[in-house]
A and B are shown apart, each in its own frame.
Chain A
């Protein structure tokens, strides 16, 4: 620790150079933080084990609705506490490009399955008892300034009413929040009974089923059981954990992992060269000073560590600043990718730490080795 001041003052001997190098490092790690966050969010390892909810979709694809008549059979599977179904509504508000997530559901079943939605009991009841009722997530309600009691015309780009009208007049009967700060309620639900009666076609199609398990350990068995039940029927199913289902959704956007690692590869190659050059140059200039330290009794090992520490501190400070900025910016991305606080989470910070260590060693070892090997008498004589 007593060497720390020495390391710092050596580092800032050439202020312009060090600060510019740090700014480059800051940018590199800012990008690292943001891109890794995207990567982590998209590649979050999920296994069916320990899933508390299971999504059952048509095997063909989730866009094909499973029929409502499967409900009793699914409900009968051992280990399932509650089942709901949800039909994608294809909703937009006023303009076709103002799309939003909305599902037609059975209110009572929704309440039993998605337990994290917080809604006063009387609003749950109002939703169940109002044919044209709709409940709206707080984030979405804030966005359009919707209040309980508002009449909202919601358009669908899929479902016409029986008279061909694509606009559905709905009543906001509740606004729900989430008990889990990680998920922002940015969606709406309408009453399935009303929706099914009024829609022009597709009647009897339930969409996908979501089952809540009593014990997450049962996830794998229950999924298998459901899928086996409908095997070789016209309504073959595919069940997976809710997380896996959601992930598959975003993964289809493209090979995010490849894009991210390509960009970061280019960035780190560049930053390695830049910082390596800075460190090599600064050690080269300080050869006589390092020799003096050795005459004073600093061992070869200590001098080597001092140079390595310098590289570590240089890269560490740059990385810390970059990751800090990334974390702050990442807070704005939470709604988009999910996760709590900032998308630049602990896992991303851990990756950053590993990168800092590897980078420091790559950058610091050559000059540190040079400093270690340097002969006092030669260096003092300028040889």
Chain B
């Protein structure tokens, strides 16, 4: 099986459209979204029809919980006043522009989706299996910890998003953690593309991964190019912060940098 895993969409319907096209072209059997459909970008309501039309099952992210239940903020928990300032602008915008039908739908999304595919137990979540808004960064997450999460959640593969940068770790016993990255904004690497993950299982896994005698899987991280200039233009028309638009145009994060561990921070420009 080929499962396309989309991370946070952040209202980037243009990138989502390209990701769907790409996943179909690669022969995806199913597509999933790991939550945070709104935020950051323009016109949140443009994302829902795409998800419905293409049968994309979604996990509820912290943003979806907040918008769906009309809470006061996005629950990202930024500690820096400047980050909070920008986060609040985009939150208030998204809350005001999400239709009631959209909110109702966000409200009922599940916190996790469990799949059983080609002998593998797969758990799709937003942050971590135990906490929707837990950040799992590559440089601050030990292997022993990920093994424990798999054990406690009784699963072979955990897939999540939330932190915004894709990575994966192979664990003992043929288990694995995958962070699918996000479709909503670039990865703080000076490139304008975004990312998703393709999980291939059973006969679709790489030959080398099928040799172990265990249920097999392989992961590809797929870069997605889209019309980022058009996105920037839409954001401008909606009066979203220039700092966000700069990220879309340059590929460097300009806000929410305080939450990055030093290694991930050093990889960026600011």
Q: Do A and B bind each other?
A: no
